């Protein structure tokens, strides 16, 4: 079956054109094209399908919070055609068998491609390096490795991991959190934590690990990716590392581009996240870092939790927020409406660059004839109200409940097949 997207704006630029999709690829771009079915795209922006470098799908082990089926459906509704599934499952994704299981579950669900992230250390315990080579050689073809949720705090082990993955062009994605500086920490260390009497999480706990790992990456000539950057100081360190010519990339989450630690004053655990929400000055530095390219991409850190893990007192609640279905809208609010990014640059930060970092062939490709039809169609003038009850994700821990957000995903195509039409599962 062929589809034609009528009168769309490629990257939100230029004159409207028709885009014909056939046999999983972009067959033609022009005017007056026809196909078996059509979408009226007048006023809509066509982007390459979004790619998330940082998603928690929870399966295997915590299917009460999320499954590959529900998580990837949420991703498709958010405009994503590929996600990287983090390794902190139960069992941990530290062997070829587990990463292949997650990869096959993604194939069966069919909503978007799932690229498993392999653990750096066995059981995420930070003691012994996991089977990185066997995961890389598996059917899942793992290229991103992370102990996310925990920091690889042992410098020697981190060095060996970065050296090892060079053999197959892998990257180590670090959760930058010095554990000795964050024992018992509940929120950002600052004025608000002092007022509330909550144990503070200092910016230096993130920045110290980033500084160390950037130097290690430069020393061994390996690839380092910094997860969920959250402080102004971290942005400066990454800028310094890039100026040195070291192979360092970084991501920022949508919520760190918009929300601040003042929200902790509500004591609502929905605002508890790792790393914590920071100050307005940190938010401004992160936005500028994303705009000028110091921060390479946006990643959701979609972290679904069961009700009992979030609906408790602040101290007992698990950290994390859902984000797949709201990511593009939050970026539109924080970056597009403020004039910091164009839609063309949104395509770079949410599709092209994360696909390149994760070495995902077929995703984040140019909107050109012959390229894979992994696409996202967006209405930039629409607004919508976030209602956790109607979301596809199995969890309800969104910090945007009741908020009106800009930009709506109208359709998502995975290799020319619609996964979302008119904002609903196809």
User: Which residues face 420 on adjacent strands?
Assistant: 412, 425
CB 376 within 8 A of CB 47: yes
**d(C-alpha 98, C-alpha 351), whole Å:** 26
Catalytic: which of 296, 301, 309, 379? 301
CA angle at 112 for the pair 369 and 373, rounded to the nearest 5° = 10
Give exposure, 328-365, as e/b (b: 16+ Cβ within 10 Å): bbbbbbbbbeeebbebebbbbbbbbbbbbbbbbebbbb
Question: What is the greatest pairwise CA distance in the chain?
Answer: 64
**d(C-alpha 215, C-alpha 76), whole Å:** 37
Q: Which long-range contacts (CB under 8 A, 24 or more apart) does 240-246 make?
A: 240/214, 241/214, 241/217, 242/294, 244/214, 244/218, 245/218, 246/214, 246/217, 246/218
Going by C-beta distance under 8 Å and a sequence separation of 6 or more, which residues neighbour residue 75? Answer: 52, 55, 83, 111, 112, 302, 324
The closest alpha carbon to 260, from 218, 222, 231, 293, belongs to 231
CA angle at 319 for the pair 329 and 198, rounded to the nearest 5° = 115
For the question of residue 148 being annotated catalytic, the response is no
Residues noted as catalytic: 301
């Amino acid at each position: 079956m062929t589809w034609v997207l009528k009168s769309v704006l490629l990257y939100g630029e230029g004159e409207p054109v028709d885009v014909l999709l056939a046999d999983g690829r972009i067959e033609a771009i022009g005017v007056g094209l026809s196909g078996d079915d059509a979408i009226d795209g007048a006023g809509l922006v066509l982007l390459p399908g979004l790619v998330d470098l940082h998603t928690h799908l929870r399966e295997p082990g915590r299917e009460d919070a999320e499954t590959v089926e529900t998580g990837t459906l949420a991703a498709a509704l958010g405009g994503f055609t590929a996600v990287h599934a983090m390794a902190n499952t139960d069992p941990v994704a530290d062997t070829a068998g587990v990463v292949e299981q997650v990869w096959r579950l993604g194939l069966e669900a069919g909503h978007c491609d799932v690229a498993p992230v392999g653990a750096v250390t066995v059981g995420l315990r930070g003691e012994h390096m996991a089977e990185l080579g066997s995961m890389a050689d598996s059917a899942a073809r793992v290229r991103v490795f992370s102990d996310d949720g925990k920091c690889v705090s042992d410098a020697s082990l981190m060095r060996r991991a970065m050296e090892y993955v060079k053999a197959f062009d892998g990257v180590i994605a670090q959760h930058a959190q010095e554990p000795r500086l964050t024992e018992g920490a509940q929120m950002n260390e600052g004025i608000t934590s002092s007022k509330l009497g909550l144990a503070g999480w200092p910016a230096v706990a993130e920045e110290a690990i980033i500084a160390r790992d950037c130097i290690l990456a430069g020393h061994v000539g390996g690839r380092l990716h910094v997860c969920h950057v959250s402080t102004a100081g971290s942005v400066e360190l990454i800028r310094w590392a890039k100026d040195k010519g070291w192979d360092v990339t970084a991501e920022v989450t949508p919520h760190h581009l918009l929300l601040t630690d003042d929200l902790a004053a509500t004591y609502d655990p929905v605002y508890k996240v790792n790393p914590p929400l920071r100050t307005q000055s940190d938010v401004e530095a992160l936005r500028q870092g994303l705009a000028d390219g110091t921060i390479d991409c946006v990643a959701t850190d979609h972290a679904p939790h069961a009700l009992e893990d979030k609906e408790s007192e602040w101290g007992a609640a698990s950290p994390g927020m859902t984000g797949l279905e709201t990511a593009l809208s939050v970026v539109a609010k924080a970056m597009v409406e403020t004039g910091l990014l164009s839609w063309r640059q949104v395509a770079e930060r949410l599709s092209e660059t994360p696909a390149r970092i994760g070495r995902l062939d077929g995703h984040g490709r140019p909107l050109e004839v012959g390229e894979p039809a992994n696409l996202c169609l967006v209405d930039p003038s629409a607004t919508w109200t976030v209602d956790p009850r109607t979301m596809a994700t199995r969890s309800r821990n969104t910090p945007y409940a009741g908020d009106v957000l800009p930009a709506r995903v109208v359709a998502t195509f995975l290799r020319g097949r619609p996964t979302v039409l008119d904002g609903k599962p196809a």
